[in-house]
Structure 1
């Protein structure tokens, strides 16, 4: 360990001496400007060096085929470059001579603050990369609608967002505590913690309630990724679960942005909570003359041709569900693998059944019946008061044809 520390000090001393020699070349500039140019030069050299590393490392023969190396370099390329630039500039700060002691102290604190921020958010990016790799392995499975896989996706996405927010807040707080003024403010804030905690608690109550609801969603899982929900009467799939809100995607590509606490405080329908399979139910309104047995045979024949049917014969049926004065209601049910398949199956069955009914049993289609009867047995079915008065046509003229009587018809009884 001592040898390693000695080597590090020697490298740092050599780097500072090299920056000092470069700084002497800038003595013709004002001292503060020369020091600033020296820091920018050190950061620029580190940027070029980092570009060489990040561009050449994935092309090495042993690492060329490792996809994870390519992914982590692509995700952390900016973080690595910022990391090397901050280290190079902060180390070159010792070789500057144009800053006052107060400015030197401020720059040291600023570089340390940037280092902590870059390190913290680099860890967050690495954590997100690892979780994304795991999620990609889950979604790449053959059974994409597996409930266990969707449960893991939900837990990882929600908990990852909560961990990222918590670690991000700690990173920012740690970086700001480097400055002495912020430390003094923190001490005074802790001195008045009672009033401050009350104010912060009241103002942050919605955000905190959604964060707590997110933890409950991840643990109890009333909703999962790609679950089929019914909010406000619309079909919607869970597209994204964040720490404080949920994004729902409707069938026509609209998006609902719903606070995550809504799913703990309000009832809603989840069609895929236990299983993605659903039962399609549709109704046909037909005439009383419909032979139900023959209709049932036609239904079974056409259902076997539907590609969206899940082939579960225990969930099919064709029954008279209701009747009224004009028609009978036939309910047809069949199973489908998911919500999309259920919708397509219902449309397909309607089309097939109507085509067969029109061609083979047109008498089954609904029709209207009208019967005119007399009020008493001695009256005609067409009472005189329901018949329109006759039209008196001229004997000669364009309306007089061979089938038209030559004289106006006799007046009906009771009329003049």
Structure 2
């Protein structure tokens, strides 16, 4: 009799696994057929990302359906059923998170950042990424909570803990205070439009772009490809320079130290020629001014506008290089000089 039950269980489980395989094959076929007509790239990515969790969920569902036909009884059947329910919850959460990732990637493809005015796209990408992470965390927490609630002793324990929020609750709240502060700061940055992906900022004296905006930290890609990792609370409590808050266009400044004999009008004419000939200038603003003077030199500043910070930096370097070459070739007397007066000692009587 035991051998017959074992054989029956093996046959039922094998049939359930075969049914799950057939269902997985049919669902993949349907996805491919739909993908040929519309949303091909999205359906291919969805099929590739969700293949494993979908198959795992089909196998668990098939085993749950087949369990009553296996002749298992008593505690063995309850244990197997409990394990399958836990596996189903885990597979469902796995599938939901994968679907969220695919949807985010599809939304990102419709929001390019390699365009001239991408501020709206960057804001949308930042919020979508933050929502995906929040939803993924929520799904994970719900899955873990659902699994714990399948155990009767844990349900009683959870109720007693909720009913008695004493010293342990206060300690836990204090321990979680820093993490919660970072999380709320990350939400504030994303949904109040204070910070977006690819924004240009100056933090800790370093120029860079926002590469990642997480719930608890921000990654800034510096100009020399280093990464500066800062907590999200840094941007809500510490002043920093935001070069693309409302507009990506910026003014670049090139400063020259020249001798007082340098003719400013000639230098201004050359600066105009250099700026207007440069493809980096956005045809908006430029100006040359003597902004300061010292005992040995005058300080000349050239301001020129560009579409973004990267172009403004290159434009500053180009203006500086060409004006120095111009002064050296046409007005060498305008280069900084140090004057020394040699005074002969008075003749002795």
| TM-score with structure 2 setting the length | 0.90
| Partner in structure 1 of residue 80 of structure 2 | 107
Q: Which has the larger radius of gyration?
A: 1
CA positional deviation for 1:176: 2.0
- Is 128-137 or 317-326 further displaced after alignment? 128-137
| Partner in structure 2 of residue 363 of structure 1 | 333
| Partner in structure 2 of residue 354 of structure 1 | 324
Moved segments of 4+, more than 6 Å: none
Given that 1:298 and 1:353 are in contact with CA atoms closer than 8 Å, whether structure 2 keeps it comes out as yes
- Asked if residue 83 in structure 1 is aligned to residue 57 in structure 2, the reply is yes
Given that 1:113 and 1:176 are in contact with CA atoms closer than 8 Å, whether structure 2 keeps it comes out as no
| Partner in structure 2 of residue 271 of structure 1 | 243
Correspondence for 1:135 among 81, 84, 108: 108
Correspondence for 2:66 among 69, 85, 92: 92
Structure 1 residues 64 and 219: CA distance shift in structure 2, 3 A: closer
Q: Which has the higher contact order (CA 8 A, sep 6+)?
A: 2
Partner-residue secondary structure (3-state), 1:185: helix
**5+ unaligned residues in a row in structure 2: which ranges?**
none
RMSD over aligned Cα atoms: 2.7
Structure 1 residues 40 and 309: CA distance shift in structure 2, 3 A: farther
Structure 1 residues 51 and 253: CA distance shift in structure 2, 3 A: farther
Q: Name the one with the larger helix percent.
A: 2
Partner-residue secondary structure (3-state), 2:256: strand
Correspondence for 2:209 among 237, 247, 256: 237
Given that 1:43 and 1:89 are in contact with CA atoms closer than 8 Å, whether structure 2 keeps it comes out as yes
Partner-residue secondary structure (3-state), 1:281: strand
Query: Cα deviations across residues 270-307 of structure 1 (Å, max 9, x unaligned)?
Result: 11111111111111111221111011101101111212
CA positional deviation for 1:269: 1.2
Correspondence for 1:255 among 227, 249, 255: 227
Partner-residue secondary structure (3-state), 2:3: coil
Given that 1:237 and 1:250 are in contact with CA atoms closer than 8 Å, whether structure 2 keeps it comes out as yes
Q: Distance in 2 between matches of 1:45 and 1:220?
A: 52
| Partner in structure 2 of residue 57 of structure 1 | 30
- Asked if residue 326 in structure 1 is aligned to residue 296 in structure 2, the reply is yes
Structure 1 residues 174 and 142: CA distance shift in structure 2, 3 A: same
CA positional deviation for 1:379: 6.3
Count of residues paired in the alignment? 348
Q: Distance in 1 between matches of 2:194 and 2:185?
A: 11
- Is 133-142 or 292-301 further displaced after alignment? 133-142
